[in-house]
Homo-oligomer: A and B are copies of this chain.
């Protein structure tokens, strides 16, 4: 079951430059950068109170995020993430309704160790959508 909006994710060519810009120009506070080796991205989050902006920079050329950056060199909105009560249960329910969950079926985790899954954009109105199981609102 979908329970809220967790974050909007932006791919950027430089996480350090994006962090400086959000802080200096937009008055946002960006947290510490972390690396997700599985997905080949360095990430940081700008806190908005009710949700967050995720900033992602690729850490290797074969990262899916690198391909996005090739098509959008200045960066851009990559996906958004919905909170769900259970990634497994929600993914299973969606799959029964014909929704394709990306990957090989094995559990994925974000940098916080939380369970995540991605829905094929063609099955969510053209938008890449992540499900995240989290205690946060």
Contact (Cβ within 8 A) B28 A2? yes
Question: How far in angstroms is the closest Cβ of chain B from A128?
Answer: 8
Q: Taking the full assembly, how many copies of this chain does it contain?
A: 2
Contact (Cβ within 8 A) A137 B50? yes
Q: A36-44, A58-66, A71-79, A107-115: which lies at the B interface? A: A71-79
The answer, yes or no, to whether A87 is at the interface (CB within 8 Å) is no
Contact (Cβ within 8 A) B2 A48? yes
* Contacts of A20-69 to chain B: CB distance below 8 A: 21-22, 24-28, 48-53, 55
The closest CB in chain B to the CB of A94 belongs to B25
Contact (Cβ within 8 A) B126 A72? yes
The closest CB in chain B to the CB of A49 belongs to B4
Closest CB pairs A-B (n = 10):
A75-B126, A76-B126, A5-B51, A74-B126, A50-B50, A4-B50, A4-B49, A8-B80, A77-B127, A5-B48
Contacts from A to B (Cβ < 8 Å): 1-5, 8, 10-12, 18, 21-22, 24-28, 48-53, 55, 72, 74-77, 79-80, 82, 94, 97-99, 121-128, 137
